[in-house]
């Protein structure tokens, strides 16, 4: 991470948000310091012709930028809970602008991060910021995580914030279930939809260990 930005951002991250609205305000401040141009990118996405069939894909076009993403402070909470070790590998399924990669590089840059995102313009903006910040541990990829030919890597944590259509989320949960036959899988689910679908339709994720619930996200360990 670029040295001149490290301290100012750590200072904002050390503020404990008083509410979800405050967490979003603090995140907006950090986005600005990092130089993200999310409003411009979202406008381009809204005005352009979406290349995906919106009956099959859910890209959250038109959603307010701070609601589209997980607040930075919640990513800190996840790191505090999981305490990743050197060499661990975290993945965000439907990574938006790749916030998790930024936070990891600030707090624990020995953790490798891959962000998978379907919307090309979001990936390009994340790539621009990652190279401006000179991030070494984080990479974004433009992929459909539900595609039949996309194989999930062996990650130590899979993070998913209501990333897509129900059909896509189901496909990805089935891919994770397949992996769980060979190793224990850690999934952090954020958002009402994915949490409900896991609880109602994917009991394999909560049969062995009880999930740990936080206000806006839950950790499932298979
Ligand atoms: C609610 S946003 C979450 C962004 C980020 N994970 C965060 O928490 O800040 C979900 C993202 O998933 C992306 N997405 C939807 N379907 C996808 C798919 N099949 N493959 C990859 N990304 C997908 C959307 O374009 C959107 O950017």
In contact, 187 and 160? CB cutoff 8 Å:
yes
| The model's pTM | 0.95
Atom of ligand 1 nearest to the CA of 146: 19
In contact, 102 and 27? CB cutoff 8 Å:
no
- pLDDT for the residue 58: 85
DSSP designation for 51: S
Inform me whether the pLDDT recorded for 85 exceeds 70.
Answer: yes
Q: Per the structure block, which two tokens stand in for 103?
A: 């936070």
Q: What is the pLDDT of residues 170-194, one digit of tens each?
A: 999 999 999 999 999 999 999 999 9
Give 116's strand partners: 93, 141
Q: Is the CB of 57 under 6 A from ligand 1?
A: yes
In contact, 186 and 77? CB cutoff 8 Å:
no
- pLDDT for the residue 1: 72
In contact, 194 and 168? CB cutoff 8 Å:
no
Higher pLDDT, 53 or 21: 21
Q: What is the pLDDT of residues 126-138, one digit of tens each?
A: 999 999 999 999 9
Q: Whose CA is nearest to atom 15 of ligand 1?
A: 164
In contact, 174 and 148? CB cutoff 8 Å:
no
Give 190's strand partners: 161, 217
53 confidence band (pLDDT: 50, 70, 90): low
Q: Whose CA is nearest to atom 13 of ligand 1?
A: 94
């Amino acid at each position: 991470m670029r040295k001149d930005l490290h301290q100012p951002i750590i200072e904002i991250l050390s503020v404990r948000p008083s509410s979800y609205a405050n967490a979003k305000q603090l995140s907006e401040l950090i986005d600005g310091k990092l130089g993200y141009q999310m409003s411009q990118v979202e406008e381009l996405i809204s005005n352009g012709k979406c290349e995906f069939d919106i009956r099959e894909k859910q890209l959250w076009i038109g959603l307010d930028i701070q609601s589209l993403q997980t607040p930075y402070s919640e990513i800190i909470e996840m790191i505090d809970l999981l305490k990743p070790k050197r060499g661990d590998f975290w993945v965000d399924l439907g990574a938006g602008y790749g916030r998790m990669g930024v936070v990891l590089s600030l707090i624990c840059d020995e953790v490798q991060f891959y962000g998978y995102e379907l919307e090309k313009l979001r990936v390009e903006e994340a790539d621009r910021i990652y190279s401006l910040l000179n991030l070494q541990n984080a990479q974004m990829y433009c992929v459909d995580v539900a595609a039949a030919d996309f194989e999930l890597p062996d990650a130590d944590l899979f993070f998913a914030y209501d990333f897509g259509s129900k059909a896509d989320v189901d496909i990805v949960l089935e891919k994770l279930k397949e992996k769980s036959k060979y190793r224990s899988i850690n999934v952090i689910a954020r958002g009402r939809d994915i949490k409900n679908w896991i609880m109602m339709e994917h009991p394999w994720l909560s049969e062995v260990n009880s999930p740990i619930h936080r206000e806006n996200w839950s950790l499932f360990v298979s």
